[in-house]
Amino acid sequence: MTEIRHESQHEDEKKRAPRRNPWLRPALTAGAVATVAALTFVVLPGGGADGTSATNGRSAVTLLENIALAAEGTEVPSGIRDDQFVYVKSRIAYMTYTNGGPGKLDPVHDREIWLSVDGVRNGLLEEDKQGLRHQVLSLEEGPLGKPKTPLATSYRSLSKLPTDPDKMLDWLYETVAKEVDDEQPDQDYRAFVLFGDLIRETLMPPKVGAALYRAAAKIPGVEVVPDVRDTTGRTGIAVTRTGADGEEEQLIFDKKTYTFLGERVLDDGKLVGSSSVLERAVVDRAGQRP
């Protein structure tokens, strides 16, 4: 589940932190327009924040409860069909490591992804970057390695996750425990990263989302950073956790609406990745925009 966001498209190119898969993180005819349902995120003015001052875990519990309450009230399009696609547009910049050399932070660029509602149809990735400008996301040939296996972050798969916070927490830890990661043995951090993967390039069912946020509040070591800028310059409040290897995941939310804005990833205090979610929608086909 955490192998899609930054998959290399060149044999001589190695991409390091964050260690995730680029599908997660992660795609108009007159008849189709009527079935497009858009969930647009408003771009807010940014302040001058560097996102380095964390507060205590008790504040994280309060913040995540407020986010959970907001998630419960989120409206998703009705009548979503299996043959439709969840569309997410983001603005991102992540570190690239080439030929074992020093990392270089990519220029900020746009990314659009289309993932099927049922998780078994090929998706599409459009990214304003060399080698990723137009890429069919084939589930048969993709990194999942199991043909016809539904993508774990598809809307239908997410709809089957627990709506009880304690059961959701158990599911997070059981999921990360199935994959050995010698580079990141911190199970609490890996559970937090999985939490972030589940909300980034997905459409989250409201009750499942609420349970997920309440489960995240139970992960040890989760803190709050009060002022953090995302890739577009919007300033929000972040829930954050640092792994045993010094990698830190910051998940940024709007201070008033508690809408998820994006993420920042730090490695020993150095920025190695950031993203902003600009738009979410349900559309009829891969490549269709709201």
Indicate if the pLDDT at residue 243 is higher than 50: yes
**Residues 181 and 190 sit within 8 Å (Cβ to Cβ):** yes
Kind of pairing, strands 13-14 and 37-40? unpaired
Task: State the alpha helices, DSSP H only, in the chain.
Answer: 30-33, 57-72, 155-159, 165-177, 187-200, 206-216
User: What per-residue confidence (pLDDT) applies to 144?
Assistant: 43
Q: Which helix (H) or strand (E) holds 248?
A: strand 247-253
Q: Given pLDDT bands bounded at 50, 70 and 90, which one contains residue 32?
A: very low
**Residues 184 and 19 sit within 8 Å (Cβ to Cβ):** yes
Tokens of 182: 């010698």
Strands (E), 65-206: 85-98, 104-105, 109-116, 123-127, 135-137
Note the pLDDT tens digit of each residue in 63-81.
999 999 999 999 888 899 9
User: What per-residue confidence (pLDDT) applies to 138?
Assistant: 62
Q: Note the pTM of the prediction, 2 decimals.
A: 0.80
* Cis geometry, peptide bond prior to residue 18 (ω within 30 degrees of 0): yes
Q: Rounded distance, CA 74 to CA 166, Å?
A: 22
Instruction: Name the nearest CA neighbour of 265 among 251, 253, 244, 245.
Output: 251
Kind of pairing, strands 13-14 and 270-283? unpaired
Q: Which helix (H) or strand (E) holds 264?
A: strand 260-267
Burial class (CB in 10 A: 0-12, 13-18, 19+), 258: buried
Q: For the chain, give the mean pLDDT.
A: 79
Kind of pairing, strands 104-105 and 123-127? unpaired
Note the pLDDT tens digit of each residue in 182-217.
677 789 999 999 999 999 999 999 999 999 999 999
Average pLDDT over residues 261-281: 95
Maximum Cα–Cα distance for the chain, whole Å?
A: 52
